[in-house]
Amino acid sequence: MEHRPVVIIGAGPAGLTAAYTLSKAGRKSIVLEKDQTVGGIARTVNYKDYHFDIGGHRFFTKVESVEKIWKEVLGQELLRRNRLSRIYYNKKFFYYPLRPLNALFGLGIWNSLLIFFSYVTSQLFPSKEEKTFEQWVSNRFGKRLFKTFFKTYTEKVWGISCDRISAEWAGQRVKGLSLMTALKNALLKNGNGRPDKNNVIKTLIDEFDYPKLGPGMMWRAMVDTIRQKGSQVRLGRDVSGIRWSGNKVEALEIQSNGQMELLHSSHFISSMPLREAIQKFKPAVPPEVLQAANDLKYRDFLTVALIIKRPALFPDTWIYIHDPEVKVGRIQNFNNWSPFMVSDPDKTCLGLEYFCFEGDRLWTMPDNALIDLAKKELERLGLADEKDVEDGTVVRMPKAYPIYDSTFRQSLDIVRRFLGRFDNFQPVGRNGMHKYNNQDHSMLTAMLSAENILGANHDLWTVNIEEDYIEELHAKPGQETAASELVPGIFYRMDKFGLATAVGSVCGLLVFLATVWLVIRGGPAGTYLQLLNQYFFGYTVTLKGAFIGLTYSFFWGFLFGWLFAYLRNFFMSYYIYRIKRETELLTFRDFLDLF
Amino acid sequence: MVAKRVPNEEKLLREVLRLNGKILGLVLGILLGLAIFIGTNWLLIMGTITPGEKHVVGPHLQLLSQFFLGYRVSFLGSIIGFFYGFALGTLCGSLIGWIYNTIVDLKSK
């Protein structure tokens, strides 16, 4: 039984990584993909030798093991690219991450002042409740900055009002610079509490790796390796049923060319959307679980790729479009992602991204109408002339983003509890776990699921929640203590009573012993020690005085120790609070990139 | 089935600092030793002049010799004083660390 191939649903980054990890450990697997291509939402589409990405997938990660796989699979084919991106807002372009002078002139001095005062107000009087995305962002950056740079774009992406998006989404996404990382940096690196800009910001924001021919290149290479090791990747296989009994999933029903096949295994990994997976369980899951799964929502996405007969239209890798007058949300310039993506260097391939719901007006628009819309909007934004567009195509990507609305947490918990009963079925990846993971975290969940099959005991749901956990998991032996245990330990609070008692006892003992010593030996020092009675009323250099001195010294030592511990805790808390705030403020630099 | 772990940020709020008695002792020892060493040599360099009386250097500090046998206000005495100060500081620091940690342990039980 143990040697049956592991069955993996989905050939996106998660599914393929699971198969890749297993194959490296000598374990065979069968990957089932519904589409005729691999990569899931991180695929690369090839249209007349113009390659374009569905959404723009930068390759950067803090997870060492994921980076190792990328380098292992693609090696020299991975390019290091500089990033340039801007925000189009109020008919002006703003560099993003913001550059102070550019932002000041773009917004105007008056508006900038209002933003500053709004920020100060949010710091002094933050919203006590922090349940929605709007509250979360306003508390950190101020209401005015929220309205300027977050509201329109976020609502375009999610299709719902910011006060209906859960704060948990923002909290989970803004994990780039955790408090612990900042504290570690404060202690170990530059000592000023700010994360090391050269290492963190530069790496995570200004540069990224990218495969020569887009992310699809990575997944195709991975498929080749998986197949070479004797595992299978079967395309065009739709899982129509998941058969289960007790605490085991027993088999999958597979549809292919109108035929039904039954695939048994002892281990299953699923990256198919969680809602779909639950709907496919046979026998049907309890009604409350089904209801919870049905309540999980997704945002869909379509890209209109336009080929324009002009080289170097603009220098950006991508542009965020905040303007509510146009429907497009983001524009990718694939020439700038990688020059190898475009077959004719005299032309430019742009990807205009529209966020929508499957079945809505935008989703159901004919391709020609969408291409026309994209052309018009491009001209309206002043980025290209409509007449220069020589060709275009549309790619629709359903379930691109799991929605974190106000009810998702409750529904997800019910589904998780149900899935918790299975010891041979592991959901992985962004849609598989209904979790807004980037591809690196999706890959990590898959790697951990494979390791679980090989005997490990990881909790996949902690990925992207506990950043430190991931760092620890993949740290070298011994690093964990130094980085995660020792450093936070320094910031623990001091026990006031403990220190007060310790200092009091030692002070009391010192005065007691000094007095007794002089009582026994005598000498001129006694006269001077006697002066203590100006503070310790009743103290004398006698045996009785030694006890009085002990009591007084203990009292004052106790008070001193307590006050020391209190002030130390107070200033340490303030220090941690300040680092936390600074860290949160720094996240503004790449906040929009997290969408 | 998966082992529960406490996230670092939660630890930060919940856990109590432990003192390293050895290090605290060492630090206090060095500080006290240096204080006596520098204090003694400072008096030797500056000297003390009491009008109309015999020139005496450090009469008050000299009283330490009642506790630190062999100590005197001289360069050699400053070295002896350093060792006495170091020993006393180390003892006090270690004792503070030990008492503090014992109380924290008792409270956390």
Report chain B's C-alpha Rg in angstroms. Answer: 22
Q: pLDDT band for position A473 (50/70/90)? A: very low
User: Which of B12, B92, B101 is nearest residue A488 as measured by Cβ atoms?
Assistant: B12
Q: Is A471 a residue whose pLDDT tops 50?
A: no
Confirm if A186 and A579 have CB atoms less than 8 A apart: yes
Give the three-state DSSP class for B70. Answer: coil
Select the residue from B6, B63, B66, B67 to test the A interface by mutation, using most A Cβ atoms within 10 A: B66
Domain regions of chain A by residue span: 6-40+214-295+406-458, 97-207, 298-402, 496-580
Common-topology check for domains A6-40+214-295+406-458 and A298-402 = no
φ/ψ bin of A234: left (φ > 0), alpha (ψ from -120 to 50), beta (otherwise): beta
DSSP notation for A354-390: EEE-TTSHHHHS-HHHHHHHHHHHHHHTTSS-GGGEE
Contact call for A498 and B1, based on CB within 8 A: no
At residue A211, what are phi and psi to the nearest 5 degrees?
-65, 145
Query: Distance between CA A465 and CA A412 in Å, rounded?
Result: 15
Q: Which of B16, B92, B96 shows the shortest C-beta gap to A493?
A: B16
- Confidence at residue B54, expressed as pLDDT on a 0 to 100 scale: 60
Q: Which residues pair with A270 in a beta bridge?
A: A9, A427
For tokens 């989970």, name the residue: A172
Q: Which CATH architecture has domain A298-402?
A: Alpha-Beta Complex (3.90)
pLDDT > 70 fraction of chain A, expressed in percent and rounded: 88
The arithmetic mean of pLDDT across residues A425-443, rounded, is: 91
SS3 state at A234: strand
A-B interface: how many C-beta pairs under 8 angstroms?
88
Question: Residue A294 in contact with residue A275, Cβ under 8 Å?
Answer: yes
Using a CB-CB cut-off of 8 Å, the residues of chain B touching A497 are 103, 107
Residue range A92-129, pLDDT digits in tens: 898 887 787 888 888 888 988 999 899 899 888 888 88
Which of A466, A530, A554, A568 is best to mutate for the B interface (most B CBs within 10 A)?
A: A466
Tell me the torsion sign for CA atoms A454, A456, A460, A465: negative
Query: So what's the pLDDT on residue A263?
Result: 94
With an 8 Å Cβ cutoff, are B96 and A493 in contact? no
In the prediction, which pLDDT does A362 show? Answer: 94
Q: Tell me if chain A has a CB within 8 Å of the CB of B99.
A: yes
Coil, strand or helix: which one is A79? strand
DSSP letter, residue B4 = P
Using alpha carbons, list the distances in angstroms from residue A347 to A48, A372, B22.
13, 19, 70
In the prediction, which pLDDT does A258 show? 82
Tens-digit pLDDT profile for residues A272-282:
999 999 999 99
The half-sphere exposure of B65 on its side-chain side, counting CA atoms within 13 A, is 17
Which range of A71-75, A406-410, B42-46 scores highest in mean pLDDT? It is A71-75
> CA triplet A513, A516, A521: central angle to 5 degrees?
120
**Among the listed residues A594, A151, A159, A593, the one whose alpha carbon sits nearest the alpha carbon of residue A358:** A159
Task: Report the distance separating Cα A160 and Cα A116, nearest Å.
Answer: 28
Rounded to 5°, the CA angle B24-B28-B30 comes to: 120
Say which CATH topology domain A6-40+214-295+406-458 has. Answer: FAD/NAD(P)-binding domain (3.50.50)
Is the Cβ pair B99, A497 closer than 8 Å?
no
Residues of B in contact with A501 (CB under 8 A): 99-100, 103
The interface pTM score, or ipTM, of the predicted complex is 0.85
Nearest CA in chain B to A500: B100
**C-alpha B24, offset from chain centre:** 8
Instruction: Name the more confident of A346 and A55.
Output: A346
Contact B96 A524 (CB under 8 A): no
Nearest alpha-carbon partner for A506 in B68, B65, B21: B21
Residue for token pair 């990328």: A70
| 3-state class (DSSP) for residue A94 | strand
pLDDT > 80? residue B3: no
- Inter-chain CB proximity A497 and B2 less than 8 Å: no
In B, minimum Cα distance to A488 occurs at B12
Tokens of A409: 């947490």
Torsional class of A301: left (φ above 0), alpha (ψ -120 to 50), beta (otherwise): beta
Tokens of B16: 């109590």
Give me the pLDDT at residue A105, please.
Answer: 86
pTM for the whole thing?
0.73
- Tell me which of A43-52, B39-48, B90-99 is least confident: B39-48
pLDDT over threshold 70, residue A386: yes
Over 70: is that where the pLDDT of A174 sits? no
How far apart CA A488 and CA A178 sit, in angstroms, is: 12
Least confident span in A255-259, A399-403, B37-41: A255-259
**Where is B91: in which H helix or E strand?**
helix B75-108
pLDDT at position A482: 44
Residue pLDDT, tens place only, B62-85: 888 888 999 998 999 999 999 999
Residue A476 above 70 pLDDT?
Answer: no
Distance CA B56, CA A398 (A): 94
